[in-house]
């Protein structure tokens, strides 16, 4: 699968973002804590959600998933054995450890896979669970865990890890007495999981801080919940609007989730308006300023997941911009794909690089390196003169719901393809979009299907 994009045109119009992938996955896993039914809305219909649901079916869950709403219950845990083949494509499968240990007291799971972002070990998870008395045995590419002797207590995480925090929150929900998690992650999706657990009947204190206490052990009930909107998709759309010198209003926004991004965008001279609650209007400028330093970090610092799209945007800025990716040593690899379009950069080390701008970009075949770099490649294609082919879009589909359709709503020329033989049809579709727009038949806010 690939996207064919004809760029060099501004994005304009209104768009509403989908629910958060990073919130939906742990919330779906948390339904294993109870045998009652849950109704969860605003779930993005993406590959990672579908993959997790298939694993849940293997464990004994029964569900329907239609129109972004999931109805799910797990009357009984059928098995606690999750083969490595089921988890090799998605690192978030590690989130099943906490709820299964809480309810079934054991789990056998393969080491999870996912995007290639350098070393992403699960040691933080395992060491934290050991502190609460969980027995852990590693055997090759499988992990065996048993929580029969586990007790509530205090855990200090080795690092501020989102998924380790989420696993502990879910596991502690099944323990009597109080568990204190220190150096807990505080991302918006972690907070959304906390709200879901509270609705189930778990006592959670310190939501949104680095010290969270959980008192579980009671009867956990089914509930209804709406997944929080995806602040990373908000950021992606905002960056795309600025990069194409467009004018886009984004809806279902929680503005303070992205304070670090808004600050950097304003520093670049981009116009950001928050005229209404849960809405932001982003207007690009013809002469964008470079950014002396963009340091990624844990929330609320600049998100690592927006680093690639943001640096793509800065190829159009005046001067030298520097990025320091503090979290993943493999996250700058997309720069070599960006270079194929004409971008100029200096790769200082696996964590640091400088972008030289402004640089005109020209269409060429490029590939997605991971979910967020894939979004960056689409933005690069939207900037570039001519036609760009973006391959490996399975990464993009794992993290974004119908991203191509949303860009089409904003007037982008982008089509999806399954094989190289489709190229004549894809080119014809792009030309048809141009003809329809010139005739007034196609308007940016109206989706186009092929």
Whole-model pTM: value is 0.91
Sheet-wide strand order for 365-367: 365-367, 387-391, 2-6, 413-417
Token digits of residue 356: 């030289």
Tell me the pairing of strands 203-205 and 224-226. Answer: unpaired
Q: What is the pLDDT of residue 138?
A: 87
Q: What is the pLDDT of residue 449?
A: 29
- pLDDT tens by residue, 94-133: 999 999 999 999 999 988 764 443 444 688 999 999 999 9
Q: What CA–CA distance (Å, rounded) separates 241 from 238? A: 5
Q: What is the pLDDT of residue 118?
A: 42
Residue closest to 369 by CA, chosen among 348, 346, 340, 345: 340
Largest CA distance in the chain: 71
Q: What is the pLDDT of residue 378?
A: 98
The residues that bridge with 391 in the sheet, in sequence order, are 2, 367
Helices (H) and strands (E) in the chain — how many of each?
15, 25
Q: What is the pLDDT of residue 242?
A: 98
Q: What is the pLDDT of residue 447?
A: 33
Mean pLDDT per segment of 10 residues, for the chain of length 450 residues? 95 98 98 98 96 96 98 97 85 92 94 51 90 93 93 96 97 96 98 98 97 93 98 98 98 97 98 94 97 96 97 98 92 95 95 96 95 96 97 92 97 86 61 61 39
Distances in whole angstroms, Cα of residue 70 to Cα of each of 41, 87, 372: 6, 21, 25
Q: What CA–CA distance (Å, rounded) separates 163 from 179? A: 17
Active-site annotation holder among 115, 194, 245, 369 = 115
Residue closest to 155 by CA, chosen among 210, 112, 114, 102: 210
Q: Which residue shows structure tokens 């323990």?
A: 175
Tell me the pairing of strands 12-16 and 247-251. Answer: parallel
Do residues 401 and 18 lie in contact, with contact meaning Cβ atoms separated by under 8 Å?
yes
Do residues 66 and 39 lie in contact, with contact meaning Cβ atoms separated by under 8 Å?
no
Catalytic annotation present for 115 = yes
- The Cβ-side half-sphere exposure at 239, using a 13 Å CA radius, reads 31
Element holding 2 (H helix, E strand): strand 2-6
Q: What is the pLDDT of residue 195?
A: 98
Do residues 48 and 20 lie in contact, with contact meaning Cβ atoms separated by under 8 Å?
no
Q: Is the backbone peptide bond immediately before 300 cis, with ω within 30 degrees of 0?
A: yes
Q: What is the pLDDT of residue 139?
A: 86
Domains with residue ranges and CATH for the chain: 2-18+229-438 (3.65.10.10), 21-214 (3.65.10.10)
Residue closest to 215 by CA, chosen among 191, 190, 198: 198
């Amino acid at each position: 699968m690939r996207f064919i994009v004809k760029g060099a045109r501004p994005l304009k119009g209104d768009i509403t973002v989908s629910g958060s992938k990073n919130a939906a996955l742990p919330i779906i896993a948390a339904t294993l804590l109870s045998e009652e039914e849950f109704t969860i809305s605003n779930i993005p219909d993406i590959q990672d959600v579908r993959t997790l649901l298939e694993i849940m079916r293997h464990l004994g869950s029964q569900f329907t998933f239609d129109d972004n709403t999931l109805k799910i219950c797990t009357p009984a845990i059928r098995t606690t054995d999750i083969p490595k083949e089921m988890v090799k494509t998605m690192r978030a499968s590690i989130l099943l450890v906490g709820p299964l240990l809480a309810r079934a007291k054991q789990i056998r799971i393969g080491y999870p896979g996912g995007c290639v972002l350098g070393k992403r070990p699960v040691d933080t998870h395992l060491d934290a669970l050991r502190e609460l008395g969980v027995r852990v045995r590693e055997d090759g590419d499988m992990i065996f865990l048993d929580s029969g002797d586990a007790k509530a207590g205090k855990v200090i995480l080795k690092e501020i890890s989102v998924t380790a925090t989420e696993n502990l929150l879910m596991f502690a929900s099944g323990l009597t007495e109080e568990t204190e998690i220190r150096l807990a992650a505080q991302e918006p999706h972690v907070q959304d999981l906390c709200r879901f657990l509270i609705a189930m009947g778990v006592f959670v204190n310190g939501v949104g801080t680095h010290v969270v206490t959980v008192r579980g052990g009671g009867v956990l009930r089914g509930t209804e919940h709406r997944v929080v909107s995806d602040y990373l998709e908000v950021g992606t759309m905002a960056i795309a609007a600025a990069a194409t010198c467009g004018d886009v209003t984004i809806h279902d926004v929680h503005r303070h989730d992205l304070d670090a991004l808004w600050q950097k965008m304003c520093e670049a001279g981009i116009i950001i308006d928050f005229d209404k609650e849960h809405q932001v209007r982003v207007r690009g400028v013809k002469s964008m300023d470079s950014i002396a330093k963009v340091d990624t970090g844990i929330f609320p610092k600049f998100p690592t997941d927006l680093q690639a799209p943001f640096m793509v945007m800065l190829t159009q800025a005046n001067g030298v911009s520097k990025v320091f990716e503090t979290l993943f040593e493999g996250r700058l690899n997309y720069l070599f794909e960006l270079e194929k379009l004409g971008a100029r950069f200096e790769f200082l080390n696996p964590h640091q690089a400088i972008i030289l701008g402004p640089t005109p970009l020209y269409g060429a075949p490029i590939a997605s390196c991971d979910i967020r770099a894939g979004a960056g490649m689409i933005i690069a294609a939207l900037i570039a003169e001519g036609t760009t082919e973006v391959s490996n879009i399975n990464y993009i589909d794992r993290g974004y719901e119908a991203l191509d359709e949303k860009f089409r709503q904003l007037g982008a020329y982008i089509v999806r393809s399954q094989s190289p033989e489709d190229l004549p049809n894809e080119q014809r579709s792009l030309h048809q979009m141009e003809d329809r727009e010139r005739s007034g038949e196609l308007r940016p806010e109206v989706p186009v299907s092929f």
